[in-house]
Amino acid sequence: MKIVIIGAGLGGLECGYLLSKQGFEVCILEQGKQIGGCLQSFERKGHRFDTGFHYVGGMGEGEVLYRLFEDFNLLNLPWKELDRECFDEVYIDGEKFSYMNGYENFAEELSRQFPNQREALHRYATILKNAQEGLQDFSKMADNPTSRELMTTSAYNFLQQNFSDERLRNVLSATSLKMDLLADSLPFYLFAQINGTFIQSAWRLVGGGQVIADTLAAGIRSHGGEVRTRARVTGMQVDNERVSRVIINGEEEMACDLVISDIHPNILFPLLPEGAVRKRYIQRIKNLHNSFGVFTVHLLLKENSVKYRNRNLFIHHQPELWRTVEQPVDGCTRSIGVHFSVPENGGEYTRNIDLFMPMYWQEVAAWSDSQPLRRPGDYEAFKQRRAEDAITQVLPYLPELKGNIEQIFTSTPLTYHDYTGTYEGSAYGICTDCNNLMVTILPTKTPLPNLFLTGQSINFHGVLGVTVTAKITCEQVIATLPTL
């Protein structure tokens, strides 16, 4: 059986790894020259920078991501655990707060600054712990009454109802730039699952996310599978209500028995012949809300100038963090995440730091017809202004940056769109809506029986969410085979 996987992001590579390991003939087709999607790294002046991957949670022995990664031969990579006493350092209007590893430690640490909220914090920590345990069998989550309740509860409303201190509500949301803080719709389960995993334990990877992509690709090839780059799928042929061929780069035809798509559904379905899938189905997906994109300022630092910090910084200059989803009317960003790259030489100084912050497609859409490396001057001026603003906001918390920045590189949602194929540069794909779960949590199966979906727009996003979804996709592929 020939299985074609469109897209070599994390979900596509994980599906390819599992299915090739089970003996299926797998071919992954990646339109870019580099695999990995948002795991990609790039090099400048001999130093490696990450694009979308910076750290993961739950990689301690026996923890949720550790158990999942066992199946992908990813445990022996050069993982580095962040400081357990403070893996995320939060600043809100200049006031400092620390995220500790361990649910009880996390609650007790914040209780020192919010003593009247101690009981509520410990209840919250227990809920976060239970949310991780619910991931043991994600495919049966819908049958779990507690999980269903947390999925249909707004994260914002949960915090409002359980914590009387507004400042604490902001602190508990302060590291959540890794999701879209939509007050009316973000499910508490998703909020708890992502934040709770990092509270278990937090890890960086020496060499960045590209190491994961390359390891998975090597595994696929060792199983006899194929991973091709510069192989853009430009169309699909459908016969008897099944995908029978994919068209590569507008000319090559590849026969297939089954297709898995690791690209955004809004990019996938236009590849099908008209009428292959009902227009109403396609329009429903088109109407779904996609998350914001990310603007990243990659700082190349002078040698031996800035010491590596084994933690992340989240800096906020606004009274209500659930307003981060609003576009900055004055061109300034008031929420910034700071990630340090682990020194690959084992030394105490880092050579690069990433500053990342929400940015919207509308802010860069005017330049969407331009080509990479050939953007107009006003686009470059726009990026420079936003980069300078971000650095200015971070300097009070990292004064050692002053005079020690050797070079600045930037990326916008337009960069993500062009280099990783993400729809309108969305950082986290389709947003899950607690008020409309049946519509916003897309099934891995499509109306065509041999076409399946995987990736960050299906179920949940992030390394953990994509990995869980990849396993579900593969399980459903195998269960469907007897009927094909």
**Cβ distance 40 to 285 under 8 Å?**
no
Using an 8 Å Cβ cutoff, are 84 and 102 in contact?
yes
| Structure confidence at residue 134 (pLDDT) | 62
Radius of gyration of the chain (CA): 22
CA pair distance 126, 104, nearest whole angstrom: 8
Q: How far apart are CA 51 and CA 40, in angstroms?
A: 6
pLDDT of the residue at 422: 87
Query: Could you tell me the domains of the chain?
Result: 2-53+208-288+434-483 (3.50.50.60)
Between 255 and 437, the more confident residue is: 255
Q: What is the pLDDT of residue 484?
A: 73
How far is Cα 426 from Cα 290, in angstroms, rounded to an integer? Answer: 6
In sequence order, which ranges of 296-405 are alpha helices (DSSP H)?
377-394
455 burial (CB, 10 Å; 0-12 / 13-18 / 19+) is buried
Confirm if 426 and 263 have CB atoms less than 8 A apart.
Answer: no
Q: Which of 109-113, 229-233, 264-268, 330-334 has the lowest mean pLDDT?
A: 330-334
Task: Give dist(CA 235, CA 230) in Å, integer.
Answer: 15
The label of the residue with tokens 């712990």 reads: 129
pLDDT of 203 strictly over 70: yes
Token pair for residue 158? 């949960």
pLDDT at residue number 461: 86
Is the predicted pLDDT of residue 321 greater than 90, yes or no? no
pLDDT at 302: 96
Between 10-24, 124-138, 193-207, 351-365, the lowest mean confidence (pLDDT) is in 124-138
Per-residue pLDDT, 46: 83
* Higher per-residue confidence, 484 vs 321: 321
- pLDDT tens for each residue of 389-432: 999 999 999 999 999 999 999 999 999 998 888 899 999 999 99
Which pLDDT belongs to residue 98?
Answer: 97
Inter-residue contact 321 to 178 (CB < 8 Å): no
- Regarding predicted confidence, which is higher, 322 or 408? 408
H helices present in 201-358, as ranges: 210-222, 265-268, 279-286
User: Could you tell me the pLDDT band of residue 44, with boundaries at 50, 70 and 90?
Assistant: confident
Q: Which tens digits make up the pLDDT trace of 55-73? A: 999 999 999 999 999 999 9
Share of the chain above pLDDT 90, in %: 78
Look at residue 440 and tell me whether its pLDDT is greater than 90.
no
